[in-house]
Chains A and B, each alone.
Chain A
Amino acid sequence: MPVNYYIFVSIALFCIGVVGVLTRRNAIIVFMCIELMLNAVNLLLVAFSKMHYAAGVATNSGAGIEGQLFVFFIMVVAAAEVSVGLAIIVMMYRNTHSADINFLNRLKH
């Protein structure tokens, strides 16, 4: 497959995530859209890794392996981020009895 198909799929997924973050007010759905954006980037990294592998396998049998390792570390960081973020959302819900993201406006006062 040409790499630009993967580029456009990832751009579309990322932009759907951006639209979700900008238009929804439920904090959990905003958080899920952030996960969607992370996954779009992961897909693009794996596609580029395979592109570099196809180009450089003749000289270096491990060409492009770093892309897949970065995806692994992105998954690690995303898991840590989700655990802390959901704890913050639960704490916010306990204080306000809603998951409305606009409540966080008050943090600036």
Chain B
Amino acid sequence: MGITQILFWFLTALALGSALMVVLSKNPVYSVLFLIVTFFAISGHYVLLNAQFLAIVNIIVYAGAIMVLFLFVIMLMNLNADMNLQKSKLLKFAGFIAGLCLFLVFVAALKDAAIKKSLVQTNTGEIGLIKNLGNTLFKEYVVPFELSSVLFLSAMVGAVVIGKKE
């Protein structure tokens, strides 16, 4: 078992364990912190796949910006343990069973897929580097790129309009 496989299983265990803790922990602040751990583990997977640009962007955008926004909102709302939102046990159980059934259906559908033997190239490969991604992004995908700037502008205006006091 090489170092790549050890890292793969370690990052997988970290991602799945902290994702479970996001769902299970009572305090929303702990959920945010565990979600940050999950995002770092996924960034580690990207580094392992040599998608370096996406790994950095994942850390900057998700762990840096979005999670800080979540933390700000949680602290603004002062949602502490006093807000124990009780949901009926039956609904919780039904939600758990529904998710488990979805998992089983996916696994049963894909466990004998034809691409099972295909290898994912780890540690090498040029396409994840910023040079190649930037070339493709600004040559072939320049229209979606500009459209996403319009999307950001409208999202910014929308957030300000919704969030401002009447």
Contact = CB atoms under 8 A, between A and B. Distances in A.
Given A3-B115, A50-B49, A62-B136, A29 B31 contact: yes
Contact of A72 (B38, B57, B92): B57
A92 B117 CA distance: 49
B38 A36 contact: yes
A89 B163 CA distance: 9
B162 A84 contact: yes
Contacts of A9: 12, 15-16
A63 B66 CA distance: 31
B144 to A, nearest CB: 6
Interface string A39-62: 100110011011101110100011
B137 A72 contact: yes
A82 B54 contact: no
A12 B100 CA distance: 10
Interface residues of A, number: 74
A16 B23 contact: yes
B23 A50 contact: no
Majority secondary structure, B binding face: helix
Contacts of A5: 8, 12
A35 B62 contact: yes
Interface string B90-131: 011011101110110011001101011111111001111000
A87 B100 contact: no
Interface string A1-44: 11111111101111111111011111011011101100100110
Contacts of A71: 51, 54
Given A9-B12, A13-B15, A36-B22, A28 B99 contact: no
B120 A47 contact: yes
A13 B41 CA distance: 12
A96 to B, nearest CB: 11
B102 A68 contact: no
Interface in A78-109: 78-84, 86-91, 93, 98-100
23 contacts: A2-B119, A3-B118, A3-B120, A8-B110, A13-B38, A15-B99, A15-B106, A19-B96, A28-B28, A32-B35, A36-B19, A47-B49, A47-B120, A63-B127, A65-B136, A68-B54, A72-B137, A73-B144, A75-B62, A76-B148, A89-B73, A91-B162, A99-B79
Interface of A: 1-9, 11-20, 22-26, 28-29, 31-33, 35-36, 39, 42-43, 46-47, 49-51, 53-55, 57, 61-66, 68-69, 71-73, 75-84, 86-91, 93, 98-100
